[in-house]
Amino acid sequence: MTAALPRPLTRRAMLAAGGAVAVGFSLSPAAFAVRPGKNGPKLPGDLGRAPMLDSWIRIGADGKVTVLTGKAELGQGIMTALIQVAAEELRVDPDRIVLVTADTALTPDEGYTSSSHSIEMSGVEIMNAAAQARDILIGLAAQRLGVAPERLTARDGRIFAPDGRSLAYGAVAAGQVLHRPAGPHSRLGDPKRFTVIGRSLPRIDIPAKVTGGISYVQDLRLDGMVHARLVRPPNYAARLVSVDTAPVDKMPGVLKVVHNGNYLAVIARGEYEAILAMRALSAAAKWDAPAVLPQEPDLYAVIKKLPRQDNVILHRQGPAGVPARTLQATYHRPYQIHGSIGPSCAVGLYQDGALTVWTDTQGVYPDRAAIAELLGMAEEKVRCIQMPGAGCYGHNGADDAGADAALLAREMPGRPVRVQWMREQEHLWEPYGPAMITEVRAALDTSGTIVDWHYEVWSNSHSTRPGGAANLMPAWYRENPVPGPVGVNIPQPAGGGDRNAIPLYRLPNARVVKHYIEKMPLRVSALRSLGAYMNVFSIESFVDELAQAAEEDPVKFRLRHLDDQRARDAVTRAAETFGWSPGARPPQGRGRGFAFARYKNLASYVAIAAEVAVEPAAGATRLIRAVAAVDCGQAVNPDGIRNQIEGGIVQSTSWTLYEAVQFSLREITTRDWNSYPILRFGAVPESVEVHIIDRPGQPFLGVGEAAQGPTAAAIANAVADATGVRMRDLPLDRARVRRALGF
């Protein structure tokens, strides 16, 4: 048989490969980006970021529809869901839509692809832009056909008159008819009659991914491309004492050794030549690495002693029963990694004073600004094109690799430079999910009702994204370094370290405090769900402790404290489909646990029931089965939602049972998958079930991060049920379980 040739299947890949952009619109959306509320009316969603309709929807004379989003495909399946939203309101077949994702030269500035916001934001914007575009086409067709617009119907890319005459979209869309500002109101379709939204359309990116297509920035192969590798310092504060680069310069294929301050890299013709040169350069580099890391056993004490800002995020006083019993508990979460399976990679091309970076950044516009600052270039001279990488789950090394590619491309004008990190560089240098501490104290009255609640959380920032050059790690190590990182204290209602720190339960008296710690002993940033993972783990573990104190079934206890009907529905559905029955005893060594949260208290409702098996002597804990109920408002692509929740459950199981970054005073010691084990197939659950509570007509609610916290708490509650021992420190790994059980 003949070898299958890799085929660029998407417009993204074509653009990435240097293809021309054949669209008849010259203005960059950013050129007329005005914010709503300044001069004009408030536009639906965040359309004000790019209020011209053709920033979002373009229709060619051939009827081909191009939809543009500033969001990035990260493996969460948003490309397919956004096409569905556009197809529904435009009334065209989804197959006729080409989607262009985040590219500073082509798409609107939608900030970061984060916070499970893509469908809530870009979905709403595209839906409204599509509805308005459809009505403009109908209006134009009305003139051409001499029929009142309300008597026309749009269907399958054509506009039909009652007498059977019709016009194709392409015929009316000639010229720049969509080059006009969006209006404040859209005539959205009736959710009861949706035919594309609500369908489990297969993801458009999967066929290429299973057949070796060009799917990732790692696969980008440009003419004349050369390969770079980096030599990183042994720790954050290390200084390069000396390096003899001359022998490396003479190695086969080596084009250039880059030595700038504490920044070391090598560029070679071939990838493996670059790796061999990197090893030689690494051996030649002599570093002074001071002791800068906290002593690990004292980590949480160290964190609590650091200077902090105290934010009281909830203070509520109201009539309540008399406290009869008070419980308190402290929970800990270690640093945990994103751990993308493919180390960070980017390609840079510096040519004629302009720079293009292909990167799997989550924010092409903020990243462009940071790279321009780092290189001292004008933003207009820098283009960032997002191409998917391996799943990132938040702010990993992608932006730094983009900066590496930019810096190294400038060393090699006219040649595309591909840089990829090695495995240990990814483990050592990505910004981790922050270590956190929570303390909770609550009082029950004699009826077992919560009458007082006091909660505190200590955490670093959960976002050190660029930002500026200070948040690009390579900037810290060059001559004239830009010191960083700089964290953001993300405010409520979304919150960072305090994300989901306010329970959804009825609490007549409550005080919730966020202790924001600016100084970062280890580099940290956004990891899927930010502080919600730890806060939901803590709150939902503690709610089980309260239920036990009240001698009540934990599901009943939750329902008795929940007023939000959608929350109650999610809890009830998960309990029913799991087969939860109060007082039921699983077999010896097994336990069941329950947990619930509404992500950010703003996005999807997720309730999870879990069954675990614990082997006390070995300390081995395994999730046997999990059942989740999810309410994410109007469901766009049910199978995509299930895929995200299933994945979230399995990933959070790995975080919860195995994962902690370890370090000595001088170096991080978890450098690969042996020293930082994650879940493997042998420990995968027997079943994971996801039930969607669809809410046609309700707003889309973000779903991608919503399972992380409930999974952790459901597992911890199940372990307590199985063993009778409450574990409050993550992860619930073998050593801790054995210790807790006295082995």
Partner 1 sequence: MVTLNVNGRSYRVDADPRTPLLYVLRNALKLNGAKFGCGLGQCGACTVMLDGEAIFSCLTPISAAAAGRIRTVEGLGSVERPGPLQAAFIAEQAAQCGYCIAGMIMRAQALLERTPAATEAQIRAHMEPNLCRCGTHMRILAAIRRAAAAMRDTPQQGDR
Among 644, 656, 670, 723, binds partner 1 (CB under 8 A): 644
The Cα–Cα gap between 418 and 399 comes to 14
Among positions 2-21, residues that touch partner 1 (CB under 8 A) are 2-4, 6-7, 9
Candidates 427, 233, 261; CA nearest to 340 is: 427
As a whole number of angstroms, the distance between CA 673 and CA 424 comes to: 9
Q: Does 393 bind partner 1 (CB under 8 A)?
A: yes
Q: Which is nearer to partner 1, 520 or 649 (CB)?
A: 649
CA atoms within 13 A on the CB side of 495: 31
**Residues 393 and 372 sit within 8 Å (Cβ to Cβ):** no
Give me the least distance between CB of 213 and partner 1, in Å please: 7
In the complex, least distance from residue 679 CB atom to partner 1, rounded to whole angstroms: 8
List Cα–Cα distances, 339 to 246, 398, 521, 672, in angstroms. Answer: 35, 12, 19, 9
Nearer to partner 1, 55 or 651 (CB): 651
Contact 145, 40 (CB under 8 A): no
- Kindly state the smallest distance separating residue 594's Cβ from partner 1, in Å: 20
Angle at 96 between CA 114 and CA 644, to 5 degrees: 30
Beta bridge partners of 129: none
DSSP 63: -
Q: How far is the CB of 655 from partner 1 (least distance, A)?
A: 10
Binding segment toward partner 1, per CB under 8 A, in 290-298, 319-327, 376-384, 643-651? 643-651
Q: Residue 5 or 22: which CB sits closer to partner 1?
A: 5
> In the stretch 262-301, what mask flags binding to partner 1 with x, by CB under 8 A?
--------xxx-----------------------------
* Nearest-angstrom CA–CA distance, 689 and 695: 19
The candidate with the shortest Cα–Cα distance to 542, out of 525, 554, 551, is 554
Closer by beta carbon to partner 1, 77 or else 294: 77
Give me the torsion for CA of 111, 117, 123, 128, rounded to 10°.
Answer: -70
CA atoms of 125 and 119, how far apart (whole Å): 9
Give the residue with the Cβ less far from partner 1, 1 or 20: 1
- Distance between CA atoms of 342 and 9, rounded to whole angstroms? 21
Residue type, 638: P
Q: For residue 416, state whether it binds partner 1 (rule: CB under 8 A).
A: no
In the chain, the largest separation of any two C-alpha atoms, in whole Å, equals 85
Structure letter (DSSP) for residue 714: H
Q: Closer to partner 1 at the Cβ: 74 or 713?
A: 74
* Site for partner 1, residues 672 to 711, rule: CB under 8 A: 672-674, 678-682, 684-685, 687-688
Query: Whole-number minimum distance, CB 695 to partner 1, in Å?
Result: 23
Per DSSP, what are the bridge partners of residue 263? 260
The CB-side HSE value for 456 (13 A sphere, CA atoms) comes to: 14
Phi and psi at 557, nearest 5°, equal -60, -45
Instruction: Single out the residue of 128, 215, 461, 463 in contact with partner 1 (rule: CB under 8 A).
Output: 215
Which CB, 224 or 682, lies closer to partner 1? Answer: 682
Q: Is 239 in the site for partner 1 (CB under 8 A)?
A: no
Instruction: Pick one of 56, 112, 160, 216: the residue that binds partner 1 (CB under 8 A).
Output: 216
E-strand ranges in 343-410 read 345-351, 354-359, 382-386
SS3 for 523-569 is: CECCECCCCHHHHHHHHHHHHHHHHHHCCCCHHHHHHHCCCCHHHHH
Is residue 250 close enough to count as binding partner 1 by CB under 8 A? no
> Using CB under 8 A, which of the segments 64-72, 336-344, 371-379, 488-496 binds partner 1?
336-344
- Do 529 and 498 touch, CB atoms closer than 8 A? no
Q: How far is the CB of 349 from partner 1 (least distance, A)?
A: 18
Which of 50, 53, 74, 530 is close enough to bind partner 1 by CB under 8 A? 74
Tell me how far, at minimum, the Cβ of 250 lies from partner 1, in Å. Answer: 16
Interaction of residue 658 with partner 1, rule CB under 8 A: no
Report, in Å, the least distance between residue 23 CB and partner 1. Answer: 26
By rule CB under 8 A, what count of residues binds partner 1? 69
Q: Which of 647, 702, 709, 731 binds partner 1 (CB under 8 A)?
A: 647
Nearer residue to partner 1 within complex by CB, 456 or 689: 689
- Residue 341 contacts partner 1 per CB under 8 A: yes
588 binds partner 1 per the rule CB under 8 A: no
DSSP summary character for residue 10: S
Cα–Cα distance measured from residue 614 to residue 593, given in angstroms and rounded to the nearest whole number: 13
Please say which residue, 44 or 77, places its beta carbon nearer to partner 1. 77
Pick the stretch among 40-48, 100-108, 139-147, 334-342 that binds partner 1 (CB under 8 A): 334-342
Tokens 């195995």 label which residue?
A: 658
Task: Based on the shown chain and the rule CB under 8 A, indicate whether residue 579 belongs to the binding site for partner 1.
Answer: no
Edge-first strand listing for the sheet containing 263-268: 254-260, 263-268, 226-231, 417-420, 345-351, 354-359, 382-386
Helix axes 638-658 and 708-723, enclosed angle (nearest 10): 50
259/237 Cα distance (integer angstroms): 17
Q: Find the binder of partner 1 among 47, 86, 214, 628 (CB under 8 A).
A: 214
Does 213 sit near partner 1 (CB under 8 A)?
A: yes
- Pick the closest to residue 468 from 316, 350, 366 (CA basis): 366
Cis peptide before 448 (omega within 30 of 0): no
Which of 179, 180, 199, 209 touches partner 1 (CB under 8 A)? 209
Taking CB under 8 A as the criterion, the residue among 111, 388, 495, 702 binding partner 1 is: 388
Contact status: 584 vs partner 1 (CB under 8 A): no
Q: How far is the CB of 206 from partner 1 (least distance, A)?
A: 5
Residue 155: DSSP 8-state: E
Residues 33-52 that bind partner 1 (CB under 8 A): none
When asked if residue 340 is in the footprint of partner 1 (CB under 8 A), the reply is yes
The amino acid at residue 212 is G
- Which of the stretches 25-33, 97-105, 177-185, 418-426 binds partner 1 when contact is defined by CB under 8 A? 418-426
Sign of CA dihedral 462, 465, 469, 473: positive
* 76 near partner 1 (CB under 8 A): yes
- Choose the stretch contacting partner 1; rule: CB under 8 A; options: 233-241, 315-323, 338-346, 461-469: 338-346
Question: Could you tell me the smallest distance in angstroms from the CB atom of residue 218 to partner 1?
Answer: 7
Could you say which of 311, 548, 577, 643 contacts partner 1 (CB under 8 A)? Answer: 643
Helix axes 638-658, 532-549, angle to 10 degrees: 80
The DSSP call for residue 342 is: S
Asked if 96 is part of the footprint of partner 1 (rule: CB under 8 A), the reply reads no
Residue 224 binds to partner 1 (criterion: CB under 8 A): no
Specify the residue, 501 or 613, whose C-beta has the smaller distance to partner 1.
Answer: 613
- Structure-token pair, residue 633: 């408002």
Q: How far apart are CA 138 and CA 167, in angstroms?
A: 10
Q: Is 210 in the site for partner 1 (CB under 8 A)?
A: yes
Among the candidate windows 1-9, 241-249, 408-416, 576-584, which touches partner 1 by CB under 8 A?
A: 1-9
Q: How many CA within 13 A on the CB side of residue 515?
A: 17
Q: How far is the CB of 202 from partner 1 (least distance, A)?
A: 6
Q: With respect to partner 1, which residue has the nearer C-beta, 9 or 188?
A: 9
Instruction: By CB under 8 A, tell whether 211 contacts partner 1.
Output: yes
Query: Does the protein bind partner 1 through residue 339 (CB under 8 A)?
Result: yes
Selection from 242, 234, 215, 341 nearest residue 289 by Cα: 234
Q: For binding to partner 1 (CB under 8 A), which residues are involved?
A: 1-4, 6-7, 9, 74-77, 202-203, 205-216, 218-219, 221, 252, 270-272, 339-343, 388-391, 393, 420, 422-423, 639, 643-644, 646-654, 672-674, 678-682, 684-685, 687-688
